[in-house]
Amino acid sequence: MKKSEKELLNKTYGQLKSLHNEISLLSKKSPVDTVNKFKLKLINSVLESANQLLGEKDKPFKDFTVFNEDDLPNNSDVVMILSQYISCIERGDYNNEY
- Using 50, 70 and 90 to split pLDDT, how confident is the model at 5? confident
Q: Is the pTM of this model over 0.75?
A: yes
pLDDT for the residue numbered 25: 97
pLDDT for the residue numbered 94: 61
Residue 35 burial (C-beta neighbours within 10 Å; 0-12, 13-18, 19+) = buried
Residue 98 has pLDDT above 50, yes or no: no
Q: Mean pLDDT throughout 20-46? A: 97
